[in-house]
Each structure stands twice: as C-alpha cells, then as structure tokens.
Amino acid sequence: MSDKDLDIRFQEAVDRVNKHEEPFPADTLLKLYAYYKKATNDYRKPKSKKPIINAFKTNALFQARGLDVDQAKQFYIDLVNNYFLYRE
C-alpha cells in the first residue's frame, strides 16, 4: 500500500471515530489516543485536568513507543475496523 493510500485510510478511520456518538470502551479509547498521537507525531504531554487520566494516557503512549508513523496509522485503522465490525 502506498503512503498516500495509507494516509487516506487513516483519515477515513479518524473521521469515523469522530462521527461516532456513543462512548468507546476505555481501553479502546486509550489505544486510539496513543496510535493517533504516534501517527501524527504529536509529542505534547496529555492535558487532562485529572492527573489519573494523564497517567493512563502517558501509559498508553509508553506502550506504543516502538511504533513508527506508518505502523501507528495501520494499527489505528485496524482497531477502528475491528471495533465497528459488528456495530454498524
């Protein structure tokens, strides 16, 4: 798959998540967060007002530390596709 195709599929997955109105399970949400941050090279610290949320986000980022940008995009796409497989 070309980089352009991966970028298109990644953006489609992001749009799909953003349009979803029901809450995601916490573990799924944290994985989405970490993969998105890695895929977009966003290295800013989590900014939740609740320290425990920041701790969970930081841990999720730590678990995704070995991924490169393309891997993070593909993991994000796969997670979204699997999540919505039986929900729509």
Those residues with Cβ within 8 angstroms of residue 14's Cβ, 6 or more apart along the chain or in another chain: 36, 76
Q: Tell me what pLDDT residue 88 has.
A: 64
Mean residue pLDDT of the chain comes to 94
14-22 long-range contacts, Cβ below 8 Å, gap at least 24? 14/76, 16/80, 16/84, 17/80
Rg (CA), the chain: 13
Those residues with Cβ within 8 angstroms of residue 84's Cβ, 6 or more apart along the chain or in another chain: 16
Per-residue model confidence as pLDDT tens digits over 10-33: 999 999 999 999 999 999 999 999
Q: Where are the domains of the chain?
A: 3-84
Kindly report the CATH number that applies to the domain delimited by 3-84: 1.20.80.10
Local mean pLDDT, 10-residue blocks, the chain (88 residues): 92 97 95 97 88 94 95 98 87
